[in-house]
Amino acid sequence: MPITKKPAADFPMRGADAIGIREVGFWSVLIVAIAFWANIVRGTGPAELPGVDSMAAGVLENGAFDVFAWILVFARAARMFEAGPASWRRISATFLVGVIALAPVRLAAGVAFVILGGSLLWDRRALAAGRQVGLVLLALAFETVWTSRFLAQPHLLAGQGDAKITAFLLGLLHTEAASHANIVDNLSANFSISVWPYCASSFPLAGVGLAFLVMLLYLDQAPRRRHLVWLGMSFIGSFLLTEVRLVLLATSQASYFWWHNGPGVSIYAVAALALAVVFPILATWETGTAGTPPGDRLVA
């Protein structure tokens, strides 16, 4: 006997004055996006409103892939649902995420992303674009939590491991070095660095995951289990890049300033960006060759 799934009661709006579900979906994305970016660009000075420079710096510091992710979200926001009137449940959910995102804490936006993203994945009326937006919002929520101050302590612990690895790598380069807690002492150069939570190898991993997902979606690929291997390789690549950066930072004070505040920052950012792009492309390339044989090839 076939099992039929009883549709959940959606209580759609009736009448000519009913608002469309596509419009409500777009409003929900717009509300959480503005709350998210307002939190990022707001000023931290005691008296003045944020200037254009600090706003731009806030956006750039947040990472290029957050910008790409939101471009992708808005490119799909108008076609997340099939046409029709919005349900009261969808309208209530939009107001709920809007009220949660009012809290002036970045984590509030993360909670709003989880509710909105989860509801998009779960909604029967959501189209493929809606489910993609849902996935991206969940990845943004994970990144928001992962990089929050609440998880600074675990990143600090990861930084202790990074300090040990950096000292070990410096030793391989015939540089006398030691580590204690989060400190790497370059004894040869009489110089030391401290690995902060934001510099630990664990810190960028959520961003790497988001970048991987966004690239997959830009390449019109649905996330699949076999992509997990490539995602794991992205994580390993990010980890290795962080360790190389820490070794360069700990080499000498001049090297520290070059890699921490000088042109080295851009070089590191480009290398991280390249890694984030390469692995999803390799993942989709593998999918393409295995899944869709060329027209002139026969399958035995």
CA angle 152, 158, 159 (to 5 degrees): 85
- Chain Cα centroid distance, residue 128: 20
User: Could you tell me the two tokens for 100?
Assistant: 């949660």
For residue 220, state whether it binds another protein (rule: CB under 8 A). no
Beta bridge partners of 173: none
Q: How many CB atoms lie within 10 A of CB 298?
A: 6
Instruction: Please provide residue 225's backbone torsions phi and psi, each rounded to the nearest 5 degrees.
Output: -60, -35
Least separation, in Å, of the C-beta of 121 and another protein? 22
* Per-position x/- string for 243-262, each x denoting binding to another protein as judged by CB under 8 A, each - no binding: ----------x--x---x--
Least separation, in Å, of the C-beta of 158 and another protein? 13
Q: Give CA separation, 209 vs 28, 156, 160, 228, in Å.
A: 24, 20, 23, 10
Q: How many angstroms separate the CA atoms of 191 and 270, rounded? A: 27
Instruction: Please provide residue 262's backbone torsions phi and psi, each rounded to the nearest 5 degrees.
Output: -105, -150
For residue 92, state whether it binds another protein (rule: CB under 8 A). no
Interface pick for another protein out of 60, 71, 78, 105 (rule CB under 8 A): 105
For residue 122, state whether it binds another protein (rule: CB under 8 A). no
Interface pick for another protein out of 43, 171, 262, 293 (rule CB under 8 A): 43
For residue 114, state whether it binds another protein (rule: CB under 8 A). no
For residue 19, state whether it binds another protein (rule: CB under 8 A). yes
Q: How many angstroms separate the CA atoms of 108 and 130, rounded? A: 22
For residue 35, state whether it binds another protein (rule: CB under 8 A). yes
For residue 192, state whether it binds another protein (rule: CB under 8 A). yes
For residue 104, state whether it binds another protein (rule: CB under 8 A). yes
Strands 177-180 and 191-194 come out as: unpaired
Q: 111: closest CA among 135, 73, 75, 140?
A: 140
Q: 250: closest CA among 199, 193, 294?
A: 193
Of 57 and 181, CB closest to another protein: 181
For residue 141, state whether it binds another protein (rule: CB under 8 A). no
Least separation, in Å, of the C-beta of 132 and another protein? 23
For residue 266, state whether it binds another protein (rule: CB under 8 A). no
Least separation, in Å, of the C-beta of 238 and another protein? 21
For residue 18, state whether it binds another protein (rule: CB under 8 A). yes
275 contacts 233 by C-beta, under 8 angstroms: no
Interface pick for another protein out of 2, 4, 17, 53 (rule CB under 8 A): 17
For residue 38, state whether it binds another protein (rule: CB under 8 A). yes
State the residues that interact with another protein by CB under 8 A.
Answer: 13, 15, 17-19, 24, 27, 30-31, 34-35, 38-39, 42-50, 91, 94-95, 98-99, 101-105, 107, 148-150, 152-153, 156, 180-183, 192-194, 196-197, 253, 256, 260
